[in-house]
């Protein structure tokens, strides 16, 4: 089977394909850029959460003792203000 397209028709067809390919490449480029921005934001968020977790874990080492007339201790073993209840 012989191709009966003229050289001008073949060039037009190639130019159309090239245009679609350029559009597809630009769309893919925008998608990849957006995904990298999201990955970067998630990586920073993960690092911040790791830091916060390590900080929280470092505050709570040791043993837990319970005595009568209990008091509540916060971070740094500082006494927290007792919240009043309806029974009091």
Instruction: Determine, yes or no, domain membership for 49.
Output: yes
**Residue partners of 15: CB distance under 8 A and separation at least 6:** none
Instruction: Determine, yes or no, domain membership for 24.
Output: yes
Instruction: Determine, yes or no, domain membership for 19.
Output: yes
Instruction: Determine, yes or no, domain membership for 66.
Output: no
Instruction: Determine, yes or no, domain membership for 53.
Output: yes
Instruction: Determine, yes or no, domain membership for 26.
Output: yes
Average pLDDT of span 26-32? 98
Instruction: Determine, yes or no, domain membership for 64.
Output: no
pLDDT number for residue 83: 58
Burial class (CB in 10 A: 0-12, 13-18, 19+), 65: exposed
- What total number of domains does the chain contain? 1
Quote the domain boundaries for residue 42: 1-59
pLDDT for 35-82, tens place per residue?
A: 999 999 999 999 999 999 888 777 766 666 666 566 666 666 677 665
């Amino acid at each position: 089977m012989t191709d009966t397209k003229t050289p001008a028709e073949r060039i037009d067809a190639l130019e159309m394909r090239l245009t679609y390919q350029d559009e597809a490449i630009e769309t893919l480029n925008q998608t990849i850029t957006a995904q990298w921005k999201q990955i970067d934001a998630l990586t920073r968020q993960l690092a911040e959460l790791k830091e916060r977790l390590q900080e929280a874990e470092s505050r709570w080492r040791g043993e837990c003792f319970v005595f009568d007339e209990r008091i509540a201790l916060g971070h740094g073993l500082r006494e927290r203000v007792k919240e009043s209840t309806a029974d009091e």
